[in-house]
Structure 1
Amino acid sequence: MASEEYRASGIKVYMSSITTSRDIRTNQQRMIGVLEAKKVPFEKVDIAKDHIGRALLKRLCKNSNTQPPVITKGEQYLGDFETFMNAVDDEVLETFLGL
């Protein structure tokens, strides 16, 4: 995604390129696929490689057991995969993302 488009939306998807969980890998692909299909600009943050991103995610998530993928807008935690998909299913994704 173009960086200026991302800056306008502020959406980040925290994911992990290193996972043994098929569910996590599938959920990450689904979340990213939905955002790309809806043409929502976002930045991917790979917490397996980006230690600063991982630390920020821990600070934003009050629940330390939160598993990727996680979506944020600026410094605001929006939710995990289940919360994201509920917004998609309820057709309120733009509102959920604050767009």
Structure 2
Amino acid sequence: MVIKVFLASSSGSTAIKKKQQDVLGFLEALKVDYAQLDIACNEDNRMWMRENVPVEKKPTNGIPLPPQIFNEESYCGDYETFFDAKEDNAVYAFLGLPPPPGSKEREVRWRSEWR
């Protein structure tokens, strides 16, 4: 399974750049394998991302902004849902990945299953 992060390499928005860096930096810190797919330089990536973000997750103008995160073909979420998962120690669940042994998320999940 490969986590796909759709981003814009030449975004003029500093907010988008910061969000992209936050997602990539956190995935690197967790040692999660991921692929960066640029929507600024590759029209196929842009069209695929736009077509595969669920309708209910698209903004009112219909055009989702990067970063958008997928596990293979399955939509995980945008920056806001990633941030919420990070705050809740649920990034692996958000990504659809099993938490590694010793991770805080695995410990929390284990405790909740045994209650």
Q: One fold, TM greater than 0.5?
A: yes
How many residues align? The count is 91
Deviations 1:27-72 (A, max 9, x none): 0000000000000000000001111111110111122232111101
Determine the structure 2 residue equivalent to 1:58: 50
For normalisation by structure 2, the TM-score amounts to 0.76
Determine the structure 2 residue equivalent to 1:40: 32
Unaligned regions of 5+ residues in structure 1, if any?
1-8
Alpha-carbon contact 2:50-2:63 (below 8 Å) kept: no
Unaligned regions of 5+ residues in structure 2, if any?
98-115
Amino acid at match of 2:70: T
Determine the structure 1 residue equivalent to 2:113: none
Q: Is 1:98 aligned with 2:90?
A: no
**What's the Cα RMSD here?**
0.9
3-state SS of paired residue (1:44): strand
For normalisation by structure 1, the TM-score amounts to 0.87
Q: Which of 39, 43, 67 is the equivalent residue of 2:65?
A: 67
